[in-house]
Chain A
């Protein structure tokens, strides 16, 4: 199919009304690209508009130092929806994993180290001394992976989970249909705090510490609060390169997934337009009618998918006078408190010894002691920079030869929990920078002396780069609250033809595309019903 508007230069700029479009997708991030690719594949004439000059949203390549390319946003793949990979043929469009099953080395305050196999079911490979600990871990991982896999539909639905788009109901249904043993386990895990569950399962302090760190990493819900165990289940429900609960590194970094999505969208004949900011979403009656562009032009279409943050979509583009008061309450009463910081550090020299080199091919996690972690959450919520933070680090060049540099190497770091600031000043940045470097120093003594450049990226920086609202990429609250928020935003203010798959629609942190897929599928269902 050819788009009659392709190559028509007159429609760039000017107060033009464009018709002949079936669907408009706003936002050229991962979810927007995925959604538009699905629509295009189904034969709909789809236009994808992004506000910025680049495609990709939060995840983008950037020169962090002269001659050194970094990748903003995500540095690993943990919860990328396997259905999206398969259905959009992302392997054919260029996704290739450089490392499929990253082992993790956990570092503790005491200086001790524990290595986890990338396949979580392989607890037997652990260097644990006590057999009972190993058995406890094996049993625990078995339970958790099984439960997480069981709950995958309620995590992945993006808010379109089930007919009512209601996670609560979907969850009840799933639990009701489950075997009694599983239902009881889900009930228990649902309300539990991570601390309680782990204390009941493990005597070993270190296992507890590292799992607490995994549970609270990138979540705004501290491990001592209800529902916090669900964060771990959500993380382990994800799949990377075909392995549940694993982490993988794609060749060229996560930005290669964006490139593949873009190619998939282009192969599906999606008309991708960067630097085309949208001013408002047109609503006629209770139906969506298209979008008005910032330059005054209009794109008329009966389907609009917003893959931008909810503040922009509902408050700015639809407007408070057209959205329900309850949705507005949900959108305006949120106040993010916790965020994750990203840091890319260029280190001088390359590792010489074999042990270090092997470690660099792993995912490295510093797990602070549980008390320090609890205190870190309290501090971060109060707007103070904590003394200790969880650090996840990896070395792209060690996994991907293409990323290798001459006599230097890049270390990519995520640190959590940190306070969220809409507009952090230099002092705050410096404080965050030093706590991250201090935390790394604990497991890599003497590392500070090798730093050539360090590039700190806070949630507000990511938002600014992706032209999103300041709080869009702050850490997400507990899974229950995420469900409530996702259900509210994906109901899309009940405007027919309007679908939402911005960051608020996604459950859990990481590159997923599940909500983009869910929004596109919902739109296609309605489209086919209308066409029939």
Chain B
């Protein structure tokens, strides 16, 4: 799951159920607001937290994301309609990524669907879409409830994830299926999630027990918290667009809507599988992208969002988000480019006022490899995915 862009204008952010727990861990005390909830940007240092995710187990408070329980005889059909995720074909315990599209086939948001039982699903979205969901459920045998405020959600990333899970009393969990367990009388659930394309697990428990479970994991020294800034680096390495930053969700005022293909996410909205909202319109748009979201590696120590991207000398796009990647030792950026911008030499305008340009090269990410494989091109998604986990 991906965090949406921060909202800087919230007057009084609500504390997430895990807030008092994570606040006690925060040395940097640097906070921001996402969907009206508090979110820690940095706990100790971005590089340290990044390292934890790569070699240990990083714990992220996923409270700011929107969560819906979807129950009913038509829950699978409903989710197959609201999102492009193949909800109908999920087995109990399985999760799938997808997109939320509007009628015209443009991306409203990313989505993740988990099947918890035959007629119970969990829908996780970067931002709440209460009205859209309420409208979509009309006339169907389904009940969708926003449970964001009722549960604590803890994301766990990194090779030592299993240690955290066992500390939380969920020994039998593997990385493929959701499971539930009881820890000192508290009901907990774990499900595999993907942060962008990076696999991880998410623990969900009643908000009243948030502190208990957090303390237990901390006492065992099983993991360390990770903030939004380090997660942003991981996201960029995976090449996943962030709503509100790399694209504006369709329907937002002033948004220039993007199709899945334009965001490099065509593999999340296959036209030949089950029906989903906007598919018929998308079929007409398919193969005709106007823009392309592309990943670049920049030979520099810093770059800034908004910088122009030059393709064979012509300015054909702009950087939408970027960060220093410790693993690649370069700046990684996503840029919104003209669809006809395939060239050989890429440059990016330098962040200073000098007017200089930085050399850049196209970067293959997990997401772009998946898109390539989907398009039938020779891609190395498997290798990249394994690389990434390492």
Which residues in A have some Cβ–Cβ distance to B below 8 Å?
Answer: 286, 315, 320-322, 324-329, 332, 493-496
Contact = CB atoms under 8 A, between A and B. Distances in A.
- Which 4 A/B pairs are nearest by Cβ-Cβ distance? A494-B280, A326-B103, A320-B139, A324-B103
B139 A328 contact: yes
Contacts of B280: 286, 324, 493-496
A324 B132 CA distance: 11
B81 A286 contact: no
B281 interface: yes
A315 B103 contact: no
A458 to B, nearest CB: 26
B253 interface: no
Contact of B138 (A326, A332, A493, A494): A332
B139 A325 contact: no
A286 B135 contact: no
B136 A325 contact: yes
Contacts of B277: 324-325
B149 to A, nearest CB: 25
Nearest to B78: A321
Given A325-B277, A493-B280, A320 B138 contact: yes
Given A321-B78, A328-B136, 18 more contacts: A286-B275, A286-B283, A315-B139, A320-B81, A320-B138, A321-B74, A321-B80, A322-B275, A324-B281, A325-B81, A325-B132, A325-B135, A325-B277, A326-B102, A332-B135, A332-B139, A493-B280, A495-B280
A320 B77 CA distance: 10
B258 interface: no
A138 B139 CA distance: 53
Contact of A328 (B80, B135, B281): B135
B278 interface: yes
A286 B286 CA distance: 14
12 contacts: A286-B283, A321-B74, A321-B77, A321-B78, A324-B280, A324-B281, A326-B103, A328-B138, A329-B135, A332-B138, A332-B139, A494-B284
A320 B140 contact: yes
B279 interface: yes
A329 B132 CA distance: 9
B185 to A, nearest CB: 40
Most chain A beta-carbon neighbours within 10 Å: one of B80, B102, B135, B140: B135
A156 B102 CA distance: 29
A329 B137 CA distance: 10
A284 to B, nearest CB: 11
Interface in B274-297: 275, 277-281, 283-284
A496 B284 CA distance: 11
B82 interface: yes
B54 to A, nearest CB: 40
Contacts of A324: 103, 277-278, 280-281
A142 to B, nearest CB: 42
A329 B277 CA distance: 13
Contacts of B136: 325, 328
Contacts of A322: 275
Nearest to A316: B139
Most chain B beta-carbon neighbours within 10 Å: one of A315, A326, A329, A495: A326
Interface string B264-280: 00000000000101111
B64 to A, nearest CB: 25
A325 B78 CA distance: 11
Contact of A494 (B80, B140, B281): B281
B252 to A, nearest CB: 15
Given A286-B283, A332-B135, A493-B280, A325 B103 contact: yes
Contacts of A321: 74, 77-78, 80-81, 140, 275
Contacts, number: 47
Interface of B: 74, 77-78, 80-82, 102-103, 132, 135-136, 138-140, 275, 277-281, 283-284
Nearest to A314: B139
Most chain B beta-carbon neighbours within 10 Å: one of A286, A320, A322, A495: A320
A463 to B, nearest CB: 19
Contacts of B81: 320-321, 325
Contacts of B284: 494
Most chain B beta-carbon neighbours within 10 Å: one of A286, A315, A321: A321
Contacts of B281: 324, 494
Given A321-B78, A324-B103, A325-B82, A286 B138 contact: no
A346 to B, nearest CB: 44
Most chain A beta-carbon neighbours within 10 Å: one of B77, B103, B136, B277: B103
A116 B378 CA distance: 78
A267 to B, nearest CB: 36
Nearest to A332: B138
A495 to B, nearest CB: 7
B84 to A, nearest CB: 13
Contacts of B278: 324
A98 B46 CA distance: 87
Contacts of A286: 275, 279-280, 283
Nearest to B137: A320
A416 B36 CA distance: 49
A496 B280 CA distance: 9
Nearest to B279: A286
B163 to A, nearest CB: 43
Contact of A327 (B74, B103, B283): B103
A495 B281 CA distance: 9
Contacts of A494: 280-281, 284
A322 B278 CA distance: 10
Contacts of A332: 135, 138-139
Contacts of B283: 286
B184 to A, nearest CB: 42
Contacts of B275: 286, 321-322
Nearest to A283: B275
Nearest to A492: B280
A327 B135 CA distance: 10
A493 B279 CA distance: 10
Contacts of B138: 320, 328, 332
A286 B279 CA distance: 8
Contacts of B74: 321
B78 to A, nearest CB: 7
A321 to B, nearest CB: 5
A70 to B, nearest CB: 37
Contacts of A495: 280
Nearest to A322: B275
Nearest to B136: A325
A477 to B, nearest CB: 20
Most chain A beta-carbon neighbours within 10 Å: one of B80, B81, B278, B283: B81
B85 to A, nearest CB: 15
A221 to B, nearest CB: 25
B26 to A, nearest CB: 40
Nearest to B82: A325
Nearest to B281: A494
Nearest to B274: A321
Contacts of B80: 321
Contacts of B102: 325-326
A358 B138 CA distance: 55
Contacts of A326: 102-103
A480 B80 CA distance: 33
A312 to B, nearest CB: 13
Contacts of B78: 321
B384 to A, nearest CB: 33
A163 to B, nearest CB: 13
A328 B277 CA distance: 11
